């Protein structure tokens, strides 16, 4: 294999410090982790292949959890669950996108899911 995400052991691509992805040091990392858990619970979680499809110039310069966020955004847009415009305007209104088989969970159901 010789793709951008397969650089382990190649000359010039050694890690200075081994980053296992934990602990979540910054708030934005914790936010992305929370988003990942909610997407996983809704079965809308992007696969590892979604991360590997990132353009090489992004993949090489992005922090670990930024790759997660970018792949999650791409996956949600590709599935028609959100638009790029909605992602670019987080304070603006969100439309409810009608997708077969996907029903938004009620807030109390989400709380119950994560607390029981």
pLDDT, residue 49, reads: 82
Does the residue 61 lie in any domain?
A: yes
Q: Which SS3 state, helix, strand or coil, does residue 98 take?
A: coil
> Where do we find the tokens 């382990």?
8
pLDDT, residue 9, reads: 52
> Do 32 and 68 form a contact (C-beta atoms < 8 A)?
yes
Taking residues 10-31, what's their average pLDDT? 69
Stretch (H or E) spanning 85: helix 84-88
> Do 30 and 24 form a contact (C-beta atoms < 8 A)?
yes
Does the residue 19 lie in any domain?
A: no
Cβ burial of 96 (10 Å; 0-12, 13-18, 19+) is exposed
Q: What is the pLDDT of residues 73-105, one digit of tens each?
A: 888 888 887 888 888 887 877 676 666 456 667
Judge if pTM exceeds 0.85: no
pLDDT, residue 2, reads: 59
Q: Number of folded domains in the chain?
A: 1
Supply the range of the domain harboring residue 68.
29-88
Does the residue 94 lie in any domain?
A: no
What six digits make up the tokens of 13?
């691509």
pLDDT, residue 20, reads: 62
């Amino acid at each position: 294999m010789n793709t951008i995400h397969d650089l382990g052991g190649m000359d010039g691509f050694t890690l200075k410090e081994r980053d296992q992805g934990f602990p979540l040091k910054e708030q934005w990392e914790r936010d992305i982790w929370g988003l990942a858990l909610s997407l996983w619970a809704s079965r809308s979680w992007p696969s590892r292949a979604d991360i590997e499809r990132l353009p090489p110039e992004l993949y090489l310069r992005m922090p670990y959890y930024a790759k997660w966020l970018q792949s999650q955004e791409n996956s949600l847009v590709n599935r028609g669950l959100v638009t790029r415009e909605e992602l670019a305007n987080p304070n603006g209104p969100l439309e409810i996108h009608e997708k077969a088989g996907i029903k938004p969970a009620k807030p109390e159901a989400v709380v119950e899911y994560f607390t029981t």
